Amino acid sequence: MARVGGDEFVVVQTMMAGPGDAAALAERIMVEIALPYDIDGHAVSIDTSIGIAIFPHDGDTVEALLKNADTALYRAKEAGRGVTCFFEAEMEVRLRERGLLEHDLRGAMAKGEFEINFQPLHACGTRDVTAFETLLRWHHPVRGDVSPAEFIPVAEECGLIVPLGQWVLEQACAAAAAWPQPYTVAVNLSPVQFRRGGLPAQVAEVLARTGLAASRLELEVTEGLLIEDAEGALATMQALKALGVRLALDDFGTGYSSLSYLRRFPFDKLKIDKSFTQAIELDPGARAIVDAILAMGHSLNLRVTAEGVETEAQLAFLRTLDCDEAQGFLLGRPVPADQLHRRLDAEARLERA
Ligand code: C2E
Ligand code: MG
Ligand code: MG
């Protein structure tokens, strides 16, 4: 057994009958390390992640075995705490693909490949526009448009989300400050931007520089943020609220959907995930959940937005439940910032005429 750096260790197991022996050893190591330590009367426990590569199948040199065990370890860490992963050749392909994406992502900002789009949020009853959500787009010269669902996690992992998120915030606030009508602008924030610290000061600075009123900015976060570091997140959220910006909980229903989060954290709005909205017509269970989320949200004085509204039937159902806002392809697709600006200008001219 050897320590190869930081908190990483290598265990060489010989005389194995098969992969089951490696799994059994991994299990023993994990159980043993997880036993709680008593530190000043506090029980502290340690999680272990383990990656396994087997000779000669996964490599017939020391270097190849170590590298592949490391790839498996990377996958294990990605899968959560206390996980063991065996190396699979396809992991390497995925890792290489991710490396390429990361490489391109690092150059994309300087090359001006990013763009922001805005998607409208509408009042359910009147269908009036209430706000626009900022959605990031990456136009890759070779891959074409890459979905944020694909590149945001990579940007988060390599830390690039911090400058990228800052850029999105600036673009969104500057655009909104120039709109002829004082609509709210929503911006998605990554948990990584919270963890980095200094977020409230950055937001305050962007608002001051762009001249956007704090009351017109809404920041969207997901539950992941609250689970990872509840205390830190709460302090940052309170500081953001003190600036006068509003906070929305995005994708509600897909994570832990904990009621205690809604009570503890200073949210103004809850956004029901599109998976529920889209199941409304077919699945009575989804209807019951949407109904329950709305009742609960309203009783906590939160505004509720349904995401992913694609049909009139979905909108009609949401209206019967007094849902506040709807967002989705039925009402408006995301459009580039300049296109939206031209449209808002034309509307303002029409109103004046
Ligand atoms: P989100 O914040 O929940 O954004 C809503 C997503 O639903 C957007 O996907 C939007 O295009 C899509 N959508 C809207 N209406 C409909 C509909 O009627 N049907 C369907 N099927 N989809 C609809 P998009 O733009 O691909 O973004 C995916 C996610 O990426 C976002 O989910 C958000 O979590 C993340 N994201 C996007 N831009 C940013 C950003 O600037 N920063 C961060 N941290 N995350 C971002
Ligand atoms: Mg969002
Ligand atoms: Mg969402």
The overall average pLDDT reported for the chain is 93
**Nearest residue CA, atom 12 of ligand 1?**
308
164 lines ligand 1 (CB under 6 A): no
Q: Measured between alpha carbons, how far is 278 from 269 in angstroms, rounded to an integer?
A: 20
Which contiguous run of DSSP H or E holds residue 278? none
Residue 208 lies in a domain: yes
Beta bridge mates, 117: 135, 336
Segment 3-12 mean pLDDT? 93
Answer yes or no: is 95 within a domain.
no
**Residue 111 sits in the same domain as residue 250:** yes
Q: Is the CB of 329 under 6 A from ligand 1?
A: yes
Verify that 124 and 193 share a domain, yes or no: yes
Asked whether residue 78 falls in the same domain as residue 117, the answer is no
Report the separation in Å between the CA atom of 250 and the middle of ligand 3, taken as the mean of its atom positions: 5
Last residue of a domain, one of 56, 87, 118: 87
Q: How far is the CA of 57 from the centre of ligand 3 (A)?
A: 43
Q: What DSSP element (H or E) covers 41?
A: none
Rounded CA-CA distance 164/159 in Å is: 9
Q: How confident is the model at residue 48 (pLDDT cuts 50, 70, 90)?
A: very high
- Do 214 and 280 lie in a common domain? yes
Contacts of 58 (CB under 8 A, 6+ apart): 64, 65, 68, 69, 87
**Same domain, residue pair 76 and 113:** no
Tokens in use for 26?
């991994």
Q: Is 15 among the domain residues?
A: yes
CA dist 38 and 213 (Å) reads: 50
Is the beta carbon of 334 within 6 A of some atom in ligand 1?
Answer: yes
On whether both 137 and 235 belong to a single domain, the answer is yes
Same domain for 108 and 203, yes or no, is yes
Ligand 1: nearest atom to the Cα of 271: 3
Contact 72, 86 (CB under 8 A): yes
pLDDT of residue 227: 80
Phi, psi of 145 (to 5 degrees): -75, 125
Domain total of the chain = 2
Which CATH number fits the domain that encloses residue 323?
A: 3.20.20.450
Give the distance (Å) from ligand 2 centre to CA of residue 42.
39
Q: Whose CA is nearest to atom 45 of ligand 1?
A: 188
Residue 93 lies in a domain: no
Find the 248 Cα to ligand 2 centroid distance in Å.
9
Q: Are residues 188 and 53 in the same domain?
A: no
pLDDT tens for 115-170 read 999 999 999 999 999 999 999 999 999 999 999 999 999 999 899 999 999 999 99
Is 345 a domain residue?
A: yes
Q: Is the CB of 272 under 6 A from ligand 1?
A: no
Whether residue 67 is found in the same domain as residue 114: no
Does one domain contain both 171 and 286? Answer: yes
Q: Which ligand minimizes its atom distance to the CA of 119?
A: 1
C-alpha 8 – ligand 1 centre gap (Å)? 37
Q: Whole-model pTM above 0.85?
A: no
Give the number of the atom of ligand 1 that is nearest the alpha carbon of residue 189.
44
Give the SS3 label for residue 102: helix
Domain-terminating residue out of 87, 120, 142: 87
Instruction: Give the end of a domain, one of 43, 61, 87.
Output: 87
Residue 94 within a domain:
no
99 domain residue, yes or no: no
User: Which 3 state secondary structure label does DSSP give 8?
Assistant: strand
Q: What is the DSSP letter of 147?
A: P
Residue span of the structural domain in which 67 resides = 2-87
The preferred substitution site among 150, 307, 335 for testing ligand 1, maximizing ligand atoms within 8 Å of CB, is: 307
Residues 144 and 277 in one domain: yes
Tens digit of pLDDT for each residue in 171-230? Answer: 999 999 999 999 999 999 999 999 888 999 999 999 999 999 999 999 999 988 888 788
Give domain status of residue 70, yes or no: yes
CATH assignment at residue 74: 3.30.70.270
Together in a domain, 131 and 184: yes
